Amino acid sequence: MERVHFAVAALNQTPLDWSGNLRRSMAAVEQARSQGGRLLLLPELCLTGYGCEDAFHSAHIAERAWESLAALLPHSRGLVVTAGLPLLHGGQLHNATAVMVDGRLAGFAAKQHLAGDGIHYEPRWFRPWPRAVVERHDARGLSTCDGSSDVPIGEVLFDVGGLRIGFEICEDAWVEDRPGKRLSERGAQAILNPSASHFAFGKRAVRESLIEESSGDLGVVYLYANLLGNEAGRALYDGGSYIAAGGKLRAMTPRFSYCEVQVATASLEVPRGAASPGAIKFDWAGPTEEMEGVRRPAWELVPPAELAYEEFTRMVGLALFDYARKTRSTGYVVSLSGGADSATCAVLVSEMVRLGCDELGPAAFAERLGLDADQPFMGQLLTCAYQPTENSGPVTRDAAERTAHSLGARYFVLDVQPMLEAYRAALEAALGRALDWERDDLTLQNLQARIRSPSIWGLANEARAILVATSNRSEAAVGYTTMDGDSSGGLAPISGVDKSFVLAWLRWMEVHGPSGAAPRPELSVITDQRPTAELRPPAAVQRDEDDLMPYDVLDGIEELYIRDRLAPQAVLEALAARFPDHPRGALIGWIRRFFGLWVRNQWKRERIAPSFHLDDESLDPKTWCRYPILGGDWGDELERLA
């Protein structure tokens, strides 16, 4: 038995940021070196960024990636370093990982099972490598381990100084015919998995189980490296990278880190025999201390019911941080209605500041976002405005003001009633008649919502900030939003969660708060209200659930139809079992309303601002939930509901 000091890295990369991606990869190499690491695994496609999408079709992308590989190669002296890149081989583009040993190129592992479901579209850009095949690839003048002009590529078992190393690239590990099984049967002692596995609620436990079980079932040291943060805009990565052996996790990087590079190491015993005749010469001598194993932060030890709230706070906070700095914006602008959705968006910006400052320190946090370190950060990063009309009430006005002030945001009141009256008068003059609520309810409601857009956009332009669209997933499902009104914005950070989650999260923030932070009792001005669009006259007592249906029912239908793919009758049976207190006739009416609104409003979902993918109920048609804009209305199925 001999000891090997293994290392894995989580990187916050950006597609096509050549110098930045290379710099962070080099930083990970140096961190691993300083921590005594001898073998370092970097994430999938880390040299280009995973989310390059159709840019992968451009030939120069693979060429630039090769240049980055050539620049990284000398930095691997004294180490074994692996890095992911797109590789053109035999006229086809492959998702590959380069293996560098002591400043020389050893070869490439190529991905066999491409991720083509959900938010992944790898078969659009890459070709899968055939099972168990090894070929030779031109090294193009790079120094190689055996001095030859080409190196192996494919399902390669690398023998590096007597340590036999194999690869599974992300999806390869999630299929039945996984390369790791064949490689372990051929004598692999370590399986390396460079991944770009997106965040979703509850996915951490599944991922960790796979890694632990792989190390035990395959009898190997199993290394897993993942991306970190908001890489390309929609898909998010928690950054959890792991080292496992004997069926147990031995080391991991912290999740949701604001640092661009995180490295974890573990010194583990590996049974090693004599090197094969073709082994790559390498000296594994290094640190021999025993690692203590994984230590989880306190927030990961909260009750399961609260873990989703913790993850939401930390993942979306980090995603907002990355979105602002990668777009070179100076913060966010939120139209505060005094209700739950806009308040949630504003509080998330505040959590971004708290978490970022806690980890990086105020000075480094300010530098990363280009802030004035001598001025309050929230006043620089968040601008809020309340935009009343004659139908707005004192409760929401007070709630908006108190929320903004409690967060330290820059706050304005923009009275849009004069503009509303002018547009209404112009429309009435054109029509030759007066508008009234009995005949023109929808027109008058939407006119108010849209009239707010120009002024809030003006504040965003003035601040050089990102306007936040505040709609949630429940509203997106049924189109309960005004296009070019409350849908206006450059980012929709909460459109990946439903209304019930938003309300529960706000109450949790009010009463408990995230681990290590105080609760926010001031949010009671939001949580004590019943949701209202406040677009009809006060006498109408408008309530969202009266316009639609109870939110828990709406979210239940959405879950059954979108996540579980059930037809209307099956939705009804499942819903009746879940909500026995609601009359069956009422459930049928709500199901018919949902499906009718769903079909009619796909065009609205097509125009929602970019949103964060958080779970398998996402409605974003750009990444997950593709539906026809024109389609049938489920009329036959809905008519037969009974």
pLDDT number for residue 353 = 98
User: Which residue is associated with the tokens 């290094």?
Assistant: 286
pLDDT number for residue 247 = 97
pLDDT number for residue 626 = 86
Q: Distance between CA atoms of 406 and 413, rounded to whole angstroms?
A: 16
Stated length of the chain: 642
Mean pLDDT of 302-328: 96
Report the percentage of the chain scoring pLDDT > 90.
87
Measured CA to CA in angstroms, residue 436 lies from 388, 391, 427, 429, 439 at distances of 20, 14, 12, 14, 6
pLDDT tens-digit series, residues 220-272: 999 999 999 999 999 999 999 999 999 999 999 999 999 999 999 999 999 87
pLDDT tens-digit series, residues 427-439: 999 999 999 999 9
Q: Distance between CA atoms of 514 and 351, rounded to whole angstroms?
A: 9
Asked if 482 and 450 touch (Cβ cutoff 8 Å), the reply is yes
Q: Taking all residues of the chain, what is their mean pLDDT, rounded to a whole number?
A: 94
Q: Distance between CA atoms of 4 and 39, rounded to whole angstroms?
A: 8
Q: Distance between CA atoms of 31 and 9, rounded to whole angstroms?
A: 9
DSSP result, 345-409? HHHHHHHHHHHHHHHH-HHHHHHHHT--TTS-HHHHHEEEEE---TT--HHHHHHHHHHHHHHT-
User: By C-alpha distance, which of 359, 373, 335, 313 is closest to 465?
Assistant: 335
Sequence-ordered list of residues with C-beta below 8 angstroms from that of 43, at least 6 positions apart, any chain: 9, 10, 11, 13, 50, 84, 194, 195, 196, 225, 226, 227, 241
Q: Are strands 242-245 and 221-225 parallel, antiparallel or unpaired?
A: antiparallel
Asked if 519 and 506 touch (Cβ cutoff 8 Å), the reply is no
> Which tokens is 303 given?
């009750």
Residue 258 CA, distance from chain mean position = 14
User: Which residue is associated with the tokens 């008519």?
Assistant: 639
Looking at the chain, the number of H-run helices and the number of E-run strands are 22, 20
> Which tokens is 549 given?
């249906």
Q: Distance between CA atoms of 422 and 430, rounded to whole angstroms?
A: 12
pLDDT number for residue 533 = 61
Mean pLDDT of 627-631: 90
Q: Distance between CA atoms of 441 and 570, rounded to whole angstroms?
A: 34
| Residues forming beta bridges with residue 244, ordered by sequence position | 222, 249
pLDDT interval class at 289 (50, 70, 90): low
pLDDT number for residue 540 = 62
| Residues forming beta bridges with residue 150, ordered by sequence position | 138
> Which tokens is 121 given?
């579209």
**Backbone angles phi and psi of 57, in degrees to 5:** -70, -20
pLDDT interval class at 273 (50, 70, 90): low
pLDDT tens-digit series, residues 385-424: 999 999 898 999 999 999 999 999 999 999 999 999 999 9
State the alpha helices, DSSP H only, in 408-480: 417-431, 441-451, 453-463, 473-478
DSSP annotation of 469: P
User: Which residue is associated with the tokens 């990369």?
Assistant: 13
- Which has the higher per-residue pLDDT, 272 or 330? 330
Helix axes 551-558, 499-511, angle to 10 degrees: 120
Q: Distance between CA atoms of 157 and 540, rounded to whole angstroms?
A: 72
pLDDT interval class at 616 (50, 70, 90): confident
Q: Distance between CA atoms of 479 and 458, rounded to whole angstroms?
A: 25
pLDDT number for residue 542 = 73
Type of residue found at 261: V
Residue 32 CA, distance from chain mean position = 26
Q: Distance between CA atoms of 180 and 178, rounded to whole angstroms?
A: 5
pLDDT interval class at 291 (50, 70, 90): low
Asked if 246 and 215 touch (Cβ cutoff 8 Å), the reply is yes
User: By C-alpha distance, which of 251, 198, 246 is closest to 218?
Assistant: 246
Mean pLDDT of 582-595: 96
Query: Is the per-residue pLDDT at 290 higher than 90?
Result: no
Sequence-ordered list of residues with C-beta below 8 angstroms from that of 296, at least 6 positions apart, any chain: none
pLDDT tens-digit series, residues 143-176: 999 999 999 999 999 999 999 999 999 999 999 9
Mean pLDDT of 338-366: 97
pLDDT number for residue 454 = 95
Handedness of CA 318, 324, 325, 331 (dihedral sign): negative
DSSP result, 8-60? EEEE---TT-HHHHHHHHHHHHHHHHHTT-SEEEPPTTTTT-GGGGGGGGSHH
Report the percentage of the chain scoring pLDDT > 70.
97
Helix axes 453-463, 441-451, angle to 10 degrees: 20
Mean pLDDT of 14-37: 97
Handedness of CA 433, 439, 443, 446 (dihedral sign): positive
Measured CA to CA in angstroms, residue 12 lies from 22, 313, 370, 373, 444 at distances of 11, 18, 18, 24, 46
Q: Distance between CA atoms of 144 and 100, rounded to whole angstroms?
A: 9
Sequence-ordered list of residues with C-beta below 8 angstroms from that of 344, at least 6 positions apart, any chain: 470, 494, 502, 505, 506
Sequence-ordered list of residues with C-beta below 8 angstroms from that of 219, at least 6 positions apart, any chain: 184
Type of residue found at 428: E
pLDDT number for residue 486 = 85
Query: Is the per-residue pLDDT at 96 higher than 90?
Result: yes
Query: Is the per-residue pLDDT at 134 higher than 90?
Result: yes
pLDDT interval class at 541 (50, 70, 90): low
Q: How many other C-beta atoms are found inside a 10 Å radius of the C-beta of residue 552? A: 16
Residue 274 CA neighbour count, 13 Å, CB half: 3
> Which tokens is 334 given?
């939120």
pLDDT number for residue 292 = 60
pLDDT tens-digit series, residues 442-484: 999 899 999 999 999 999 999 999 999 999 999 999 999 989 9
Measured CA to CA in angstroms, residue 543 lies from 392, 534, 536 at distances of 13, 8, 10
pLDDT number for residue 529 = 84
What domains can you pick out in the chain, each with its CATH number? Answer: 2-295 (3.60.110.10), 301-416+452-529+541-639 (3.40.50.620)
